Structure 1
Amino acid sequence: MTRDAIFEVIEATWPAARLVPLGPWVVRDGKGGGKRVSAATPTAEVNPSDIPEAEEAMRGMGHQPLFMIRPGDEALDAALQVRGYRTLDPTTAYSLPIARLTDVPVPRVTAFCIWEPLAIMEEIWAQGGIGPERVAVMARAEVKTGILARWNEKPAGAAFAALHQKTCMVHAVEILPDQRRQGVAGWVMRAAAFWAQNQGAEHISVLCTQANTAANRLYSSLGFAPVGQYHYRYKDAQEVQ
């Protein structure tokens, strides 16, 4: 999977409320749905003199400036650093041929693919900081499902999966604290893979911050391989949700 392809999947499966082309930028209006749907990215080579235009546009949308830095954006990264922007959330994008996760059936009543989300799914997400604004991001995706996991005869976790062309991306994986370290997240990923395979997908992907060592270990153990990386640039931690 190419760099451009994985970022197309990210954009389509976790969509902003509005994309605003502005000179050499795309500026995103996330409506409070988090960094990925609120960050500006370049569409062409940018100069330091182009940065204030993007900053002003983001402030006009009601949030402080935030830039996503992808491979190839090194000059922008350096220019933002000079302007006092700090690094936030280095993230790895992973991908795997979907057949690698559909070789083992999901145990009966372990995971259910559901859309619209049930109240219990929204409660689980909320415990992990995934509130109504992020659920609204999910609703904007075209081909999608929620996943409710059960373990020990109780609700155990929730996730969201969406499809772009032949790739499924899984977002918002949240496992309840008392149900962790029991393999639940692995079954969630397999349930997403079976759903996506039925939709014609050939690959499954996921994003993980580099600081989340447990999740990175999980995805590596399932056979996922890195296909891209990005991070954000921001000025004030209190301005970023």
Structure 2
Amino acid sequence: MTPDAQTLYAVTEATWPPARIETRGPVTLRDGAGGGKRVSAATATRALTPDELTDAEAAMRGLAQGALFQIRAGDDALDAMLSDQGYRVVDPVNLYVAPVAALTVETPPRVTTFSVWEPLEIMREIWAEGSIGPARIAVMERATCPKTGLFGRHDNRPAAVGYAGLHQGVVMVHALEVRAAHRRAGMGRWIMIEAAHWAARHGAAHIAVLCTKQNAAANGLYASMGFAPVGYYHYRQKD
């Protein structure tokens, strides 16, 4: 059975975890430790009262984070309430999934891609070039699920990196980065195929990825590889 959006929300949390989680009534607060929106955004099970919202905002400020909520499927009332309170929409994201077996019919060319953990220094350098710095690598390092780094070479040079984690039979790929000099050479596709082979070796049935809706090139890549959209989320941020 194809994983649904609720499953992929859980897979995201397990494979790309915040440093700490705290629940206050209907609100789940996340301490991202500088690791970006995905690990810092609060979620809520319903629309909040004024006092609950004030409390959540104070708690986020206490973590040295801005007022930020992730809005998932079914959060329409929360979304409307935050809009009324001056929160703007930021970074709508598509959730994609594909069967592992559909991607493992191909094998990357010899010495093109590798699965390796812990990340090599050159992998860290490529991530840094794409603004994926130590705080985001720390997210990968603290994940307790089965995981791997993904490393790709093109024209005998280090060209691409990624990270993948496994939860509930789904491997999710994060932090896919291709060096500018090696784009349009198919490296993103080969990294995803390498991730699928790693997933198959670890018994996963599906592979998933998140992609901002504005990233036309990446959305096109995943569609061309047979990934199907199964859900979405966006953020509400108060400046």
Normalised by the shorter chain, which TM-score bucket?
over 0.9
Q: Which amino acid aligns with 2:132?
A: I
Q: Alpha-carbon deviation of 1:61?
A: 0.9
Out of 174, 185, 188, the position equivalent to 2:188 is: 185
Of residues 159, 163, 171, the one that matches 2:162 is: 159
Any unmatched runs of 5+ in structure 1?
Answer: 237-241
Q: Report what 1:104 is aligned to.
A: 106
- Could you say what the CA RMSD is over the residues aligned between the two structures, in angstroms? 0.8
The amino acid across from 1:165 in the alignment is: Q
Q: State whether residues 47 and 81 of structure 2, in contact with CA within 8 Å, keep that contact through their aligned partners in structure 1.
A: no
Paired residue type of 1:101? L
For 1:6, the equivalent position in structure 2 comes to: 8
- Specify the code of the residue in structure 1 equivalent to 2:117: W
Is 1:46–2:47 an aligned residue pair? yes
CA–CA distance in structure 2, aligned partners of residues 105 and 3 of structure 1: 29
Query: Does the CA contact (< 8 Å) of 2:113 and 2:191 recur in 1?
Result: yes
User: What CA distance in whole angstroms lies between the structure 1 residues aligned with 2:209 and 2:155?
Assistant: 26
Whether 1:28 aligns to 2:26 is no
Structure 2 gap segments, 5+ residues each: none
Listed as ranges, the matches of 1:29-178 within 5 Å are 29-42=31-44, 44-49=45-50, 50-142=52-144, 143-178=146-181
TM-score (normalizing by structure 2): 0.96
Question: What TM-score do you get using the length of structure 1 for normalisation?
Answer: 0.96
* Equivalenced residues, count: 235
State the alpha-carbon separation in 2 of the partners of residues 2 and 213 from structure 1. 23
Post-superposition offset of 1:65: 1.0
**How high is the sequence identity, in percent, across the aligned residues?**
54
CA distance in 1, matches of 2:105, 2:238: 45
Moved over 6 A (4+): none
The Cα offsets for residues 15-68 of structure 1, whole Å up to 9 and x where unpaired, read as 0010101110110001000001000001x3233422112111111111111000
C-alpha distance in structure 1 between counterparts of 2:49 and 2:160, whole Å: 44
